[in-house]
Chains A and B, each alone.
Chain A
Amino acid sequence: MNDLIKELYQEIILDHGQDPRNFGECNPYNKSADGHNPLCGDNLKLTFFVNHDDIIEDIKFTGEGCAISLASASLMTEKLKGLKISVAEEIFKDFSNLVSGSADDLNVLNEEDSLYALKGVGGFPMRVKCATMAWHAFKEALKN
């Protein structure tokens, strides 16, 4: 077994890939966007509800994709629920660095975070889009 594969597919990734959390649609929601990876056809729909204090009260997704994209979306929703938008945006910056091989450039994320399990994606440049699809949908939804 190759170490790169072990690092990419950690137990938590396989778990969330097979059994994604927060799978569904928020009711009600006031933000939504579609994520799409034209490379493979994977797609998701992200919905969330932001309250008057700019806090993400609820966040869910539906869609189909590989283990990396589903696990990433699942872990993202777990992480972002209850956070302020501005904090979520900081995390997005760190996460982008983490999965593109720049794990040294982190400000708010650390090894204790479940999101850190996606660090292995850095060894597979063609899979970065799988890991960031949900996050790009999140950013897109904030623009709408």
Chain B
Amino acid sequence: MMDIKKIRNDFPILNKKILNEKNLVYLDTAASAQKPQVVTDEINSFYLNHYANVSRGVHTLSVESTFKYEDARKKVQKFINAASEREVIFTKSATESINLIANSFAARHINEGDEIILSIMEHHSNIIPWFLIRDKYKCKILFANIDSDGNINEEHFKSLITEKTKLVSLTHLSNVFGTTINQSIIDLCNNAGIPILLDGCQSAAHIPIDVKALGCDFYVFSGHKLYAPTGIGVLYGKENIIDELPPYQGGGGMIADVSTDGATFTDLPAKFEAGTPPLVQAYGLGIAIDYINELGMSKISNYELELTNYALDKMQDFDFIDIHGENGVKHSIISFNLESIHSHEVSSYLDVEGIAIRAGHHCCQPLMKHMKLNSTARASFGIYNTREEVDIFINALKNCRDFFKK
């Protein structure tokens, strides 16, 4: 059992009153999670007691900082069950992780006429980096269709795979539907010998991650959706693939030797971490992972699934609520519309009731165009949300509909 009351006490922001009177009901964790106090306290403590640059000096503070930074890497490695710390690269965001692998992978493996497969429901951060690669290397980007439940259409996906396919990059857990990718899609790629990247921005916070069991070649996620600070992202890459890729950016910390003629690069993972890294943020991510491990990722996942289903059941009672991908299994994310009421109206109405939801295209404009929607509203849950909050949310939806349909 999860002690939600105790968990809520770990997040001081949950005591905030919106517009000085309404209790905050935070249903926008999919955009960014709130932070437990242990994370912010430890970050402060790092700056106040241990801070210096990493992997450079030999003085005591530099050693302490370096140790803490590398310790965070170990925690991430265990968290996603990577084979080695050499496979865990720190970036500033999941977006940077995808840009990194897109550029370094393309430099070695993408040629004119090659094909990269995405799906129609990808986040812009898993589309635009590939568009930039397409423009540079004159390759093609293909989009797999989805079915009405919000899952990738396997037949269509299969039909896109050819000998020209060089890479597949897909969301692990859709930020619009809350659905997870079918293992069969990953297996298809593995069997065809095509590297597959999973965008784990949503999955890392809601389901246990085992990159070895998944069979993905790359996995990216960000810290801020995982109760950690902003400014830290992770790229996992299979060692045998990333070891032979060229660096993404050049700078300090990633070289073996530099002369006026040129440079040789250092080993993994530092080869991909040019410049002073977001070391305190990485440390904060490690603390957030400790916090999650203490609660237990399986327990978190079960609790959130139960809460999501509770909300779905209630929402399905009202025919004025259109739930997108209604029959898919949803992890912590529900996108919906209230008949023809624009999602902005819904969000502003809920806001003054203290309820934070997302409204808009969710950085998924190709999907919105595919669904012929201008925008949707989205409620998403985290470890701190309760059934009482879901009830407040549902009640506000009813009132909102009455207000705009009077």
Q: Which residue numbers of A lie inside 8 Å of B, CB to CB? A: 1-2, 4-5, 8-9, 14, 39-42, 64-68, 124, 127, 130
Residue B349 at the A interface, CB < 8 A? yes
Interchain CA distance A9-B341 in the complex, whole Å: 13
- Give the A-binding residues of B (Cβ under 8 A): 19, 342-345, 348-349, 351-353, 359-361, 365, 368, 374-375, 403-404
User: What 6 pairs between A and B have smallest CB-CB spacing?
Assistant: A66-B342, A66-B344, A2-B352, A40-B360, A41-B361, A40-B375
Which residue of the partner chain A has the closest CB to B351? A124
Contacts of A41 in B (CB 8 A): 360-361, 365, 368, 374-375
Contact residue among A5, A64, A124 (Cβ-Cβ distance under 8 Å from B403): A5
- Contacts A64-B374, A65-B342 supplied; 8 other A-B pairs, CB < 8 Å: A5-B348, A9-B403, A14-B404, A40-B344, A40-B361, A66-B343, A67-B342, A130-B344
**A-B contacts at CB below 8 angstroms, number:** 50
Q: Using Cβ atoms and an 8 Å threshold, which residues of chain B touch A68?
A: 344-345
- Complex CA–CA separation, A4 to B350 (angstroms): 12
**Chain B: CB-nearest residue to A41:** B361
> B19 contacts which chain A residues (CB < 8 A)?
2, 4
* B344–A127 CB distance below 8 A: yes
State the Cβ distance, A70 to closest chain B Cβ, in Å: 9
Query: Nearest Cβ distance between residue A9 and chain B, in whole angstroms?
Result: 7
The answer to whether A65 touches B348, judged by C-beta atoms less than 8 angstroms apart, is no
Give 19 A-B contacts (CB < 8 Å), ordered by A residue.
A4-B19, A5-B348, A5-B403, A8-B348, A9-B404, A40-B344, A40-B359, A40-B360, A40-B361, A40-B375, A41-B365, A42-B344, A64-B374, A66-B344, A66-B345, A67-B344, A67-B345, A124-B348, A130-B344
Residues of chain B within 8 A of A124, CB atoms compared: 348, 351
CA distance A28 to B332 in the complex (A): 51
Q: State the CA gap A54–B195 with chains docked (Å).
A: 61
In the complex, the answer to whether A5 meets B365 with C-beta atoms within 8 Å is no
Nearest-CB distance from A19 to chain B (Å)?
13
Contacts of B368 in A (CB 8 A): 41
Q: Report the Cα distance A65→B375, complex, angstroms.
A: 9
Give the interface centre of B344, B359, B360, B365 by most chain A CB atoms within 10 Å.
B344
Write the nearest CB–CB distance from B192 to chain A, whole angstroms. 35
Give the Cβ gap from B375 to chain A, nearest Cβ, in Å: 5
Report yes or no: B342 in contact with A4, Cβ–Cβ below 8 A: no
**Is the beta-carbon distance between A40 and B348 smaller than 8 angstroms?**
no
Q: Which of B348, B365, B374, B404 contacts A127 (CB 8 A)?
A: B348
Query: In the complex, which residues of chain B have a beta carbon less than 8 angstroms from the beta carbon of A2?
Result: 19, 352-353
A40–B360 Cα distance when bound, in Å, is: 4
Question: For residue A127, which residues in chain B have a CB less than 8 angstroms away from its CB?
Answer: 344, 348
A39: shortest Cβ distance to chain B, in Å?
6
Taking a contact as CB atoms under 8 Å apart, the answer to whether A5 and B344 are in contact is no
Whether A42 lies near B348 (C-beta < 8 A) is no
Q: Is the CB of A5 within 8 A of B360?
A: no
- Interface pair B374/A42, CB less than 8 Å apart: yes
Please report the C-alpha to C-alpha distance between residue A98 and residue B359 in the assembled complex, in whole angstroms.
Answer: 24
Which chain A residues lie closer than 8 Å to B359 at the CB level? 40
Query: In the bound complex, what is the Cα–Cα distance between A5 and B345 (angstroms)?
Result: 10
Closest to A14 in B: B404
Shortest A74–chain B CB gap in Å is 15
CA–CA, A65 and B345, complex, Å: 10
A35 to B21, CA, bound (A): 36
B374 touches A5 (CB 8 A): no
Cβ–Cβ < 8 Å partners of A65 in chain B: 342, 374
Alpha-carbon separation in the docked complex, A68 to B343 (Å): 12
| Min CB gap B329→A, angstroms | 27
Bound together, the chains give a CA A42 to CA B365 distance in angstroms of 11
Q: How far is B19's CA from A1's CA once the two chains are assembled, in angstroms?
A: 14
Kindly report which residue of chain A lies nearest to residue B344, judged by CB atoms.
A66
Report A-chain residues with C-beta under 8 Å of the C-beta of B374: 40-42, 64-65
Q: Is the CB of B375 within 8 A of A4?
A: no
Given contacts A40-B361, A41-B361, A127-B348, contact A1 B342 (CB under 8 A): no
Name the residue of chain B whose CB is nearest to the CB of A2.
Answer: B352
B347, closest chain A residue (CB): A126
